[in-house]
Amino acid sequence: MEKQYKFEKNYSKSTPTHMLGEKSKIFGPIRDHMKYDFRNSYPAPELLPVSNILKSLEKELTIVGSSKNLYPDPQGYLPFRELISETLHLKRQMDISPENILLTDGSGQGIHLVAEALINPGDAVIVDDFVYGGTLWSLRRFHANIYGVSSDQNGMIPEKLQETIEKIHSNNQLCKLIYLIPTFQNPQGTTMNINRRKEILSIAQNSGIPIIEDDGVANMRYEGQHLPSIQSLDDTGITTFVGSYSKMVVPGFRLGYLVASDSILKIIEIIKGSRGVNKFSAFAVYRFAKDFLENHLKVLNFELKTRRNTMFEALENNFDKKYTSWSTPEGGLYTWLEVAPEIDLKKIQLQSEKLEVSYDLGTNFSPDGSEKNSCARLCFSGCSNEEIITGISILSNLIHKD
Amino acid sequence: MEKQYKFEKNYSKSTPTHMLGEKSKIFGPIRDHMKYDFRNSYPAPELLPVSNILKSLEKELTIVGSSKNLYPDPQGYLPFRELISETLHLKRQMDISPENILLTDGSGQGIHLVAEALINPGDAVIVDDFVYGGTLWSLRRFHANIYGVSSDQNGMIPEKLQETIEKIHSNNQLCKLIYLIPTFQNPQGTTMNINRRKEILSIAQNSGIPIIEDDGVANMRYEGQHLPSIQSLDDTGITTFVGSYSKMVVPGFRLGYLVASDSILKIIEIIKGSRGVNKFSAFAVYRFAKDFLENHLKVLNFELKTRRNTMFEALENNFDKKYTSWSTPEGGLYTWLEVAPEIDLKKIQLQSEKLEVSYDLGTNFSPDGSEKNSCARLCFSGCSNEEIITGISILSNLIHKD
């Protein structure tokens, strides 16, 4: 019966096919859960503090009462922004007024807003050689030319960054953004040390290119000390910082924030309008952050560390370091596996998924969408220790058989 | 200290100044509450079912348990989409699969997504002669040419709509959308009867112009019967329908939905990506809708009816019908006041706000942003009966003194 409406905007042309996914339905279901699921970059269900979140919401609603605070708020619940300001001071050495913080619908919304604010179609954006798919999605959405820069165990390599900027300029493109996840980079798990942070920042400042610093899962640190953020080292205001409470509380509840200079926030206000973040989540997560988060992080990080160690042990027991390597992050939810080029992890995935073992291929994190089949992200956060041991053993058997 | 980053996108040029508001801060605070606040288009704080919402969330989280349902979901919690499908069948005579429903961050996000999907800069969009500011904001955001069409007590006038379409075509513009709030139009309070719905739909179908039907506050009906939606009368799939639970539950909790054809949903999936609506709200509002909403609406609608009647009585006691008129909706949160052209409600507002009486001027709802100072929206929903009586009396004194 449906008369096809002809769209004047050509979405199929402007949209890379890898943005469309391989879904049979329009909005695909959540990916089928597998028994040994190394794709799942969330804490396992038993690690979610559901009952304390409920307590927190109840308490905060009692405090707020039947007041105007129940109504929408464009910038986000002020007590929460004040708490974020204090926390960033303590943990990231940042000196930020709550006026420069915007609550967002996860950190993804923050990245999306900054991309929309700065990027015209064809502008260049610099990222790591492998990078979080949600960010790639936002950058492609605004038709950026995305340049991946090589990294070592300290993250993005300064010389390579400088070369890439020169290449972009020689292509007569404007470079609008450098996107960085300096701590437990997603997917590679690398962390930039303080010197590397300073070197990269200095290049960005000298070239006048804004940075988005994604704090990612930096609070899920179970070894070593918190490092100052790049934003804290930047006295020029070109660094925008995004953070999130979603993964360390309950992922579906989506509560992030963005820290930006006045000039960037002014543009974002135009783009975003007056529609504020969900207040329900803001109340619950704020009160949880005040009353429960420090203890929750202790439990969560202890559990994640155990699972990470199990993963490392399983990798060592099953793989020969001659043809495989993996990153060894001091925190986070995943490690990055690299195998010899003759091993095709895409082909092996076809077999492994029949045995309920799955992982995200390097291709999913590839800035230009090209195939990268000798690397994969292995998340240990969503599996039990037993599942990690069995899953890695199955994977290893398939690789050795290959 | 801040080095000003020069934005390559010229926002000040492409953004009408009325989108920027008159805020001194970047994200202005929620407007100062006034004692007699006829701007507040939300139910008063004492009418918000906060404790039952908490009970609902607790119950639903117990049912869902520690399952994958706690993780993000691109299209929105399926049981809720099933309930929406059933409710729309009962109350709006719509026959919709849950697969064609998308949960959104309030109905505003639905309108915004459809506008983004269809509008190229310079395309024409048709709205009523006065219309909800949030929709105007989204349309301006995508640089639409907005055409207002005159209405009578039955809403948009078909002959005027036809004339406007011809005018748009003679201007060599593409007309991409007709936006309608057929029940308790915001701000005018008018409702389209069934014949008017059919006439407007028929013109849209013959011209091949998609409709967005905004269900607005149609569930806050306290007199008369629910009417079939325009979408239910449309067998061609050009009508997209947006609805919301926010206002009838708790406004800051933002839970709306969009009903669209496969072809529109396919585009929206590309625009929106995989980031789903807040699951916390979805759980709470779904369970509330199942267990408490019908009773809550009885209480809420009784209260709103009382306040509306108080407003009508106060207007009749204070204003001479020779130079004032107001709409008489069978539901909703507001009435539309029109005064003789020699009375300047903008000038009077400067005085009234000193006495804590405020309202939204016609200008705020004007499609081309031109000044409309002889009409205003008066919300009765956010004030007590006593506040309505006193506030209208203050307003009347100022008008008579003028």
DSSP letters along A232-257, please? Answer: HH-SSS-EEEEEESTTTS-GGG--EE
d(CA B242, CA B365) in angstroms, rounded, equals: 19
- Minimal Cα distance from B2: which residue of A? A236
Closest CA to A69 of B300, B30, B52: B30
Closest CA to A123 of A145, A141, A96: A145
Question: Best mutation site among A26, A178, A206, A207 for testing chain B: the one with the most B CBs within 10 Å?
Answer: A26
d(CA B402, CA B16) in angstroms, rounded, equals: 32
Residues B395, B397, B401: CA angle, nearest 5 degrees? 120
pLDDT at A69: 72
pLDDT at B358: 95
What are the residues facing B103 on neighbouring strands? B257
Contacts of A69 in chain B (CB under 8 A): 252
pLDDT in tens, A129-139: 999 999 999 99
ipTM of the complex: 0.84
Instruction: Name which of B68, B174, B265 is nearest A30 (Cβ-Cβ).
Output: B68
Report the largest interatomic distance among the alpha carbons of chain B, rounded to a whole angstrom.
65
A173 pLDDT exceeds 90? Answer: yes
Question: Best mutation site among B20, B120, B274 for testing chain A: the one with the most A CBs within 10 Å?
Answer: B274
Q: Say if the Cβ atoms of A263 and B73 lie within 8 Å.
A: no
Contacts of A263 in chain B (CB under 8 A): 2, 4-5, 7
pLDDT in tens, A235-259: 999 999 999 998 899 888 889 999 9
| Mean pLDDT, chain B cut into blocks of 10 residues (402 residues total) | 45 39 47 85 88 91 76 88 97 96 93 93 97 93 95 97 98 96 98 98 97 97 97 95 92 90 90 80 94 96 98 96 94 96 95 95 94 96 96 94 74
Contact of A300 with A220, CB cutoff 8 Å: yes
pLDDT at B24: 34
d(CA B224, CA B217) in angstroms, rounded, equals: 14
CA distances from A48 to A99, A135, A252, B10, B70 (A): 31, 25, 11, 44, 9
Quote the mean pLDDT of chain B.
90
A312 pLDDT exceeds 70? Answer: yes
Q: Is A104 left (phi over 0), alpha (psi -120 to 50) or beta?
A: beta
Domains of chain A, first to last: 27-48+295-401 (3.90.1150.10), 65-291 (3.40.640.10)
Q: How many Å lie between the alpha carbon of B251 and the closest alpha carbon of chain A?
A: 6
Contacts of B54 in chain A (CB under 8 A): 54, 57-58, 61
Contacts of A96 in chain B (CB under 8 A): none
pLDDT in tens, B61-91: 888 876 667 777 889 999 999 999 999 999 9
Which residues contact residue B344 at a Cβ distance below 8 angstroms, ignoring those fewer than 6 apart? B373, B374, B402
pLDDT at A86: 97
